[in-house]
């Protein structure tokens, strides 16, 4: 009797000092490790995200989890925008999750909130990605 195989893939993980990335069936989740994303951290996270996006076949969603981040400078915003542009180029959607009041205000003030779907709790995130 032939063994049955699951249609769902086993999630793949990649961890660096500043980001933990998991990939699972069209969903890439990047948990950015805080407390800040600035000049030193942003390029490293950006490179890890670019690598994950280019390796992934079809991306439906990229979730950038900022729940551990309290400060994001212009390079951090640029990192988010770069990832969003890469995902949009292959037809995917970028979601920013776990933002506190201060970071949400930063996205609004810079009008970059228009580029992303921003969710503040796990239930809304689960509903948005259908999981």
Distances (CA, A) of 99 to 5, 72, 119, 122, 130: 38, 11, 8, 11, 20
Distance CA 74, CA 76 (A): 5
CATH of the domain at 87: 3.30.750.24
pLDDT at position 5:
36
Cβ proximity of 19 and 31 under 8 Å? yes
pLDDT at position 53:
95
pLDDT digits (tens, 9 = 90+) for 60-87: 999 999 999 999 999 999 999 999 999 9
pLDDT digits (tens, 9 = 90+) for 16-75: 789 999 999 899 999 999 899 999 999 999 999 999 999 987 899 999 999 999 999 999
On whether residue 5 sits in a domain, the answer given is: no
On whether residue 6 sits in a domain, the answer given is: no
On whether residue 9 sits in a domain, the answer given is: no
Residue 128 has pLDDT above 90, yes or no: yes
On whether residue 26 sits in a domain, the answer given is: yes
Cβ proximity of 44 and 16 under 8 Å? yes
On whether residue 97 sits in a domain, the answer given is: yes
Whole-model pTM: value is 0.87
On whether residue 57 sits in a domain, the answer given is: yes
When divided into structural domains, the chain yields a total of 1
Distance CA 40, CA 82 (A): 16
65 is in which domain, residue-wise?
15-129
């Amino acid at each position: 009797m032939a063994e049955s195989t699951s249609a769902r893939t086993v999630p793949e993980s990649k961890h660096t000092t500043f980001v933990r990335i998991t990939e699972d069936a069209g969903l890439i989740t990047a948990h950015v490790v805080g407390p800040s994303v600035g000049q030193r951290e942003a390029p490293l996270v950006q490179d890890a995200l670019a690598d994950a996006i280019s390796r992934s076949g079809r991306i439906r969603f990229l979730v950038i989890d900022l729940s551990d981040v309290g400060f994001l400078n212009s390079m951090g915003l640029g990192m988010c925008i770069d990832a969003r542009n890469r995902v949009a180029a292959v037809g995917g959607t970028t979601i920013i999750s776990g933002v506190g009041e201060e970071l949400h205000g930063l996205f609004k003030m810079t009008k970059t909130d228009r580029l992303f779907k921003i969710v503040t709790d796990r239930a809304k995130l689960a509903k948005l990605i259908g999981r």
